[in-house]
Amino acid sequence: MNIVLENLTKEFPARGKRNSGSVKAVDHVSCQIPDGELMGLLGPSGCGKSTTLNLLCGLEKPTEGKIFFGDEDVTALAPEFRGVGMVFQNYALYPHLSVRQNIRFPLENRKGKDKLSKEEMNRRVEDAARLVQIEELMDRKPGELSGGQQQRVAIARALVKFPKVLLLDEPLSNLDARLRLKTREEIRKIQKQTGITTVFVTHDQDEAMSICDRIAVMKDGLLMQQGRPQEVYDHPANLFVARFLGTPPINLFAGEVRGQTLYLGGKPVLPAPGVPDQPVWTGIRPEGFILKADGPLECQMERVEVTGRDVSIISSHSACTEGTLRSIISSEEGAAAPTARTVRFALKPGKVFLFSKDTEEVIPLSGEGKEL
Amino acid sequence: MNERKNKLISEKNHKAWLYLLPALLFLIAFMVYPLIDVLIYSVEEGYNFASQTYFGVGGYNFSYVLHDPYFLQALKNTFILVVITVPLSTILALLISTGLSSIKPLRDLYQTIYFLPYVTNTLAVGLVFMILFQKTEYTDGLVNLVIHFFGGSSVDFIDGPYWAKMFVLCFYTIWVVMPFKILVLTSALASVNPDYYKAAKVDGTPKLRVFTRITLPMISPMIVYLVITGFIGAFKAYSDAVALFGTDLNAAGMNTIVGYVYDMLYGDSGGYPSYASAAAIILFAIVLTVTCINLLVSRSSRK
């Protein structure tokens, strides 16, 4: 099921006397989610991603704009007629019902010609349980399950009605780190197996990047950028997206372009073909540094962190907006990690982004750059 | 090793008892001792209050009380009151609090209005009820005016037929106990996580089913609490009847068990602590039994 959002806007009226003026939680968002894909809605808390999800499932009515599921305009449709399955952040499993009753609950709501026979209901409950591998927990109460198990029950409950669209609201935030890794793989697997178009809300870019077919990055209700995770990572549209994606985060410098060359701290570090002279924000991915004895970027050495797979060199530079900058070097290269006071890097052109100081939009570098 | 551990535990126990001592002393002096005393009074036959003497020990006091028509009337009144007011007030409170939690505008105002009876004085409200329902030679009272308006004939609710008096008593009791129940239930309803309702909505659950399958089970502990305290409160009813019908409840035929106990101690026929104690013990037994049944029922229904 293709999902199309058209100019979707949700405005919440002002609350109380003190904060007058309404709040635009979602501001003219347009995007398209192709059939069968897993879409990650990504952004910091308060960016409107959960509101977007609520608009999709029908719990909130948009102030403006339209939502299409396939060819059908569902904007005015109540949640139960949209054919959506929703998994809530806290799972919202009914504590007084057993796992089996919880999964059955959506099916028992059906009336009239949609009503299912007992056998059909049981069969579908069993199928859903098998899909998420909780067959042996069916007679327990949610309170007796671990977080991960509750999560699966919630997914089973969402899937049992064969939804056209599956919506997941921060599904992994209540799990511990190891379980999170495992569960996200499972969500991915189940999504591929069922082929249901899925929207997945998260503030964790790592989560979104790793399992989503597409991601949409939001900030203050605005859609900043959307696309394949790698695409968005490699070509951030603005400073916000560049800073939001990637762990460890991108290193930010205040720089300047003069004569088609990027200067950091007054020294030329990279050719910037086709860029007019102006002050710029410069973002350099941690993996964009190359250790080079005569590299153009000279930094003050702070310390070296060894993780086994690679080596992080923490150093400082006068133009860097944070206190320190982090560069990641593969451990073969990093074996010769410098012990001197200063360290010099060359920069990989594809990992360096320039942003306008006014608009914070990316400044495209024309043609393939070369390292200095 | 084991011995040391035991010693440690017993030392800890001593300390615990020491900490509990002040509370225990009070409980023993003001609860356990009076209870035992009541029990002793109730089995002392022919107790004379003035000389503090009695003839013997036996079950005569109980037999007297159980054969006293006034006590039987009080027992009947109390049971009718309990059976009518407890379920009715709980259901009404549930409906009102559900209504309160589903409206947004002016909710606080309504909550205050519904809570007002709780802070008003029982006797004062009883007086108002009496004026509303009473029929005298000078006036018919507001309620009778309404009955007239709808074409009925007037009834004296305060000094008239038994059913009318019982109706007023029940009406008044429900009115008095409702605010607390509404307060408890509204906060219970507010504490249900809204995500459950959202989940139910996405699944297209009909409203009634949401109420019976989600809301009710979620707030059932509070309902059980209200029913149990409601039963106990209704069995101990006394001041409500006094407020409406005056102190001579036996003459009005509207006495309650607690009223009977009071009359036996201090009323016109007073000075019979043995009979009063026997009646009190009977009330205690009834309340205990009903509470046990309540707990058993609520426990088995939760499984």
Residue A44 lies inside a defined structural domain of this protein: yes
Residue A366 lies inside a defined structural domain of this protein: no
How far is residue A360's CA from residue B44's CA, in Å, rounded to a whole number? 95
**Is the confidence at residue A203, as pLDDT, over 60?**
yes
Average pLDDT for A285-307: 87
Residues on chain B bordering chain A, Cβ-to-Cβ distance under 8 angstroms: 193, 195-196, 198-206, 209, 213-214, 217-218, 220
Q: End of a domain among A215, A240, A265? A: A240
How far is residue A97's CA from residue B213's CA, in Å, rounded to a whole number? 9
Residue A37 lies inside a defined structural domain of this protein: yes
Nearest to A10, CA basis, from A73, A40, A54: A54
User: Where in chain B are the domains?
Assistant: 68-302
Which of A78, A88, A161 is the closest to B198 by Cβ? A88
CA distance, residue A92 to nearest chain B CA (Å): 5
How far is residue B65's CA from residue B43's CA, in Å, rounded to a whole number? 12
Residue A107 lies inside a defined structural domain of this protein: yes
| Cα nearest neighbour of B215 on chain A | A94
The SS3 of residue B105 is coil
Say yes or no: A162 contacts chain B, CB-CB below 8 A: no
Both A170 and A268 in a single domain? no
Highest mean pLDDT among A4-18, A323-337, B88-102: B88-102
For domain B68-302, give its CATH number from 3.40.50.410, 1.10.3720.10, 1.10.1520.10, 2.160.20.80. Answer: 1.10.3720.10
Structure confidence at residue B230 as a pLDDT band (50, 70, 90)? very high
Using a CB-CB cut-off of 8 Å, the residues of chain A touching B218 are: 95-96
Which residues are registered as beta bridge partners of A271? Answer: A261
Between B134 and B275, the higher pLDDT residue = B275
How far is residue B56's CA from residue B62's CA, in Å, rounded to a whole number? 14
Both A68 and A115 in a single domain? yes
User: Given an 8 Å threshold on Cβ–Cβ distance, is A88 in contact with B209?
Assistant: no
Pairing of strands A297-306, A342-347: antiparallel
**Is the confidence at residue A297, as pLDDT, over 80?**
yes
Q: pLDDT by residue (tens digit) across A132-152? A: 888 899 999 999 998 888 988
Both A257 and A292 in a single domain? yes
Q: What is the CATH number of the domain that holds A222?
A: 3.40.50.300
- H helix intervals, chain A: 49-57, 99-108, 118-131, 147-159, 177-194, 205-211, 229-234, 239-244, 331-334
- Computed on alpha carbons and rounded to an integer, the radius of gyration of chain A in Å comes to 25
Both A205 and A267 in a single domain? no
Both A273 and A335 in a single domain? yes
Both A166 and A298 in a single domain? no
**Is the confidence at residue B115, as pLDDT, over 60?**
yes
Both A97 and A45 in a single domain? yes
Residue A361 lies inside a defined structural domain of this protein: no
Both A222 and A287 in a single domain? no
Q: pLDDT by residue (tens digit) across A32-81? A: 999 999 999 998 888 888 899 999 999 989 999 999 998 889 998 888 88
Q: End of a domain among A195, A220, A240? A: A240
User: Given an 8 Å threshold on Cβ–Cβ distance, is A94 in contact with B217?
Assistant: yes
Both A203 and A326 in a single domain? no
ipTM of the complex model = 0.81
Average pLDDT, chain A: 87
Q: pLDDT by residue (tens digit) across A316-354? A: 888 888 888 898 888 777 666 666 788 888 888 889 999
Both A255 and A213 in a single domain? no
Kindly list the distances between the CA atom of residue A13 and the CA atoms of A17, A24, A54, A77, A220, in Å, as whole numbers in the listed order.
12, 9, 17, 22, 16
Q: End of a domain among A240, A273, A293? A: A240
Element (H, E) at A283: strand A278-284
The number of folded domains in chain A is 2
Q: pLDDT by residue (tens digit) across A190-200? A: 899 889 999 98
**Is the confidence at residue A16, as pLDDT, over 70?**
no
Which of A95, A96, A109 is the closest to B203 by Cβ? A109
User: Given an 8 Å threshold on Cβ–Cβ distance, is A84 in contact with B205?
Assistant: no
Main-chain phi, psi angles of B292, to 5 degrees: -60, -45
| Cα nearest neighbour of B216 on chain A | A96
pTM of this prediction?
A: 0.79
Between B246 and B82, the higher pLDDT residue = B82
Both A89 and A219 in a single domain? yes
Both A167 and A47 in a single domain? yes
How far is residue B136's CA from residue B155's CA, in Å, rounded to a whole number? 10
A182 lies in which domain range?
A: 3-240
How far is residue A372's CA from residue A349's CA, in Å, rounded to a whole number? 9
Supply the pLDDT for residue B153: 76
Judge contact between B294 and B227, C-beta under 8 A. yes
Element (H, E) at A254: strand A251-258
**Sheet hosting strand A214-219, strand order edge to edge:** A84-87, A165-169, A197-202, A38-42, A214-219, A222-227
| Cα nearest neighbour of A58 on chain B | B202
